[in-house]
């Protein structure tokens, strides 16, 4: 029964939570279901729980839970890293206990896999350590000049100004990471799975880390599939002949095969389902990062672009509305002056009154709208087309990719 619960509830839930944690904060999904689910897991759930605990156990217990939530999602803590390592080591333990012993008895698997599997795991561990432990590109007073020369300011997302916290110039494409408490060159995002920020210098290790995890999941799924395929063949269930009580020949069907496999290989099947689902999640995440590389945009810049797009659209709308209101006032201003024309018909008088009323109405509407303030920065960004914002740094996919694997701060531009 526990196994059925694992397959039906635990596995899809874990996959869903991982998917939401990875994609929820993304600007493409933020306003949709994934964004709402992320908001629920990282914020709403905690607020509701906190309110409940405060009502039941008192103010201090509620505050305690609130600080647990802050610790979990807004500080540098090892919990998500522990969650990842628990899945990784748990999966490896299950693999070596329940899958590895079948490798040698599976003739369809070449003995080379006995070497390739440990190599694949070594690949995962080395990329994990490289992305978690190497410098993401911390900007210090000592290397500031080098980072300032790395990229020019694009005057759409990046302007020359000082970091409020570090108190020195902020290089283009950098961001102050509030978790690591320093500016990071070509900042991508803070990765709770690695407990490190991802920036100019370790983005390459991060991509390889994603790739190694994807490879491990696909490879694991395939190995288990080959083993199960061989077990089914070796059982002879499809080649032997079976008779029912009336003496008729009965063919063994797939439902029986599945029941049989679940009876004898339930743990490898559970593991393969997990590796299969995770490979889909990681594959989507790799595709997203390849898309960002094709545009030479970091995750941080992608979210900044969506904020900028919203800002320009709103500002343009504000200016447009104000100008329309001003135009209406100017047009209705030309109310005919009162002439001492006694013969003026009452219809004309009525018309004039109507026009005056209209003019006053337009003036009141204009008063309601504040005159838009246009800062020098607005003058620059308002020239941009919000529907067609592009990265200033895009040099084409292959050059962008080369810059990821050979960071300019280490290897230079050539």
Q: Which of 176, 230, 266, 309 binds Zn ion (CB under 5 A)?
A: 176
Bridge partners (DSSP) of residue 162 are 169
Residue 53 in the binding site for Zn ion (CB under 5 A): no
Q: Using an 8 Å Cβ cutoff, are 24 and 37 in contact?
A: yes
Report d(CA 47, CA 303) in Å as an integer.
25
Q: Which stretch binds Zn ion (CB under 5 A): 94-102, 164-172, 311-319, 392-400?
A: 164-172
Q: Which stretch binds Zn ion (CB under 5 A): 62-70, 183-191, 222-230, 247-255?
A: 183-191
Residue 369 in the binding site for Zn ion (CB under 5 A): no
- E strand or H helix at 79, and its extent? helix 79-94
Burial class (CB in 10 A: 0-12, 13-18, 19+), 72: middle
- DSSP 8-state code for residue 186: T
Q: How far is the CB of 97 from Zn ion (least distance, A)?
A: 48
Q: How far is the CB of 368 from Zn ion (least distance, A)?
A: 41
Query: Whose CA is closest to 161, among 307, 376, 314?
Result: 376
Residue 11 in the binding site for Zn ion (CB under 5 A): no
Quick one: tokens of 40?
């629920």
Nearer to Zn ion, 167 or 368 (CB): 167
Q: Which stretch binds Zn ion (CB under 5 A): 180-188, 273-281, 294-302, 391-399?
A: 180-188
Q: How far is the CB of 12 from Zn ion (least distance, A)?
A: 41
Give the DSSP letter string of 8-30.
IIIHHHHHHHHHHHHHTTSTTTT
Q: Which stretch binds Zn ion (CB under 5 A): 163-171, 228-236, 288-296, 307-315?
A: 163-171
Q: How far is the CB of 257 from Zn ion (least distance, A)?
A: 60
Residue 14 in the binding site for Zn ion (CB under 5 A): no
Nearer to Zn ion, 131 or 174 (CB): 174
The three-state secondary structure class of 175 is strand
Nearer to Zn ion, 135 or 365 (CB): 135
Q: Which of 165, 313, 323, 360 binds Zn ion (CB under 5 A)?
A: 165
Nearer to Zn ion, 189 or 315 (CB): 189
Q: Which of 11, 17, 144, 163 binds Zn ion (CB under 5 A)?
A: 163
Q: How far is the CB of 163 from Zn ion (least distance, A)?
A: 3
Tell me the C-alpha to C-alpha distance, in Å, between residue 36 and each of 20, 24, 125, 157: 9, 8, 33, 27
Tell me the C-alpha to C-alpha distance, in Å, between residue 93 and each of 21, 90, 209, 231, 237: 25, 5, 20, 21, 30
Question: Could you say which residues in the range 234-293 bind Zn ion, by CB under 5 A?
Answer: none
Bridge partners (DSSP) of residue 191 are 196
Nearer to Zn ion, 139 or 208 (CB): 139
Residues 6+ apart with CB under 8 A from 110: none
Nearer to Zn ion, 144 or 262 (CB): 144
Nearer to Zn ion, 176 or 266 (CB): 176
Nearer to Zn ion, 183 or 228 (CB): 183
Q: Which of 68, 166, 179, 262 binds Zn ion (CB under 5 A)?
A: 166
Tell me the C-alpha to C-alpha distance, in Å, between residue 187 and each of 16, 23, 156, 300, 337: 27, 18, 16, 7, 65
Quick one: tokens of 73?
């999602």
Residue 326 in the binding site for Zn ion (CB under 5 A): no
Residue 331 in the binding site for Zn ion (CB under 5 A): no
Residue 183 in the binding site for Zn ion (CB under 5 A): yes
Query: Whose CA is closest to 291, among 106, 23, 73, 76?
Result: 23
Quick one: tokens of 241?
């002949």
Q: Which stretch binds Zn ion (CB under 5 A): 35-43, 158-166, 235-243, 343-351?
A: 158-166
Interface positions with Zn ion (CB under 5 A): 163, 165-166, 176, 183
């Amino acid at each position: 029964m526990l196994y059925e619960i694992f397959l039906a509830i635990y596995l899809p839930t874990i996959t869903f939570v991982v998917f939401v944690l990875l994609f929820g904060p993304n600007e493409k999904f933020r306003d949709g279901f994934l964004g709402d689910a992320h908001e629920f897991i990282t914020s709403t759930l905690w607020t509701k729980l906190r309110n409940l605990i405060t009502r039941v156990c008192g103010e201090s217990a509620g505050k305690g839970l609130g600080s647990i939530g802050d610790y979990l999602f807004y500080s540098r803590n090892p919990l998500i890293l522990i969650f990842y390592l628990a899945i990784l080591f748990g999966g490896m333990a299950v693999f070596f206990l329940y899958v590895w012993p079948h490798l040698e008895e599976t003739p369809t698997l070449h003995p080379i896999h006995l070497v390739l599997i440990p190599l694949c795991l070594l690949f995962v561990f080395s990329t994990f350590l490289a992305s978690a432990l190497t410098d993401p590109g911390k900007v210090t007073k000592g290397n500031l000049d080098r980072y300032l020369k790395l990229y020019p300011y694009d005057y759409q997302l990046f302007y020359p100004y000082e970091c409020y916290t570090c108190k020195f110039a902020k290089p283009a494409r950098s961001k102050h990471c509030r978790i690591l408490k320093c500016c990071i060159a070509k900042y991508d995002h803070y990765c709770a799975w690695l407990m490190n920020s991802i920036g100019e210098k370790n983005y390459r290790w991060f991509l390889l880390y994603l790739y190694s995890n994807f490879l491990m999941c696909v490879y694991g799924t395939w190995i288990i599939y080959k083993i199960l395929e061989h077990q089914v063949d070796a059982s002879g269930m499809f080649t032997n002949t079976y008779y029912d009580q009336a003496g008729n020949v009965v063919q063994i069907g797939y439902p029986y095969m599945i029941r049989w496999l679940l009876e004898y290989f339930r743990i490898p099947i559970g593991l393969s389902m997990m590796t299969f689902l995770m490979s889909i999640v990681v594959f989507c995440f790799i595709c997203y990062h390849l898309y960002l590389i094709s545009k030479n945009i970091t995750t941080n810049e992608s979210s900044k672009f969506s904020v900028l797009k919203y800002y320009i659209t709103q500002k343009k709308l504000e200016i447009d509305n104000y100008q329309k209101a001003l135009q209406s006032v100017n047009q209705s201003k030309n109310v005919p002056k009162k002439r001492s024309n006694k013969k003026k018909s009452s219809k004309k008088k009525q018309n004039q009154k109507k026009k005056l009323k209209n003019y006053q109405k337009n003036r009141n509407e204009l008063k309601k709208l504040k005159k838009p303030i246009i800062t020098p920065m607005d003058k620059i960004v308002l020239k941009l087309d919000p529907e067609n914002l592009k990265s200033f740094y895009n040099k084409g996919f292959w050059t962008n990719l080369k810059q990821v694997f050979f960071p300019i701060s280490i290897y230079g531009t050539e």
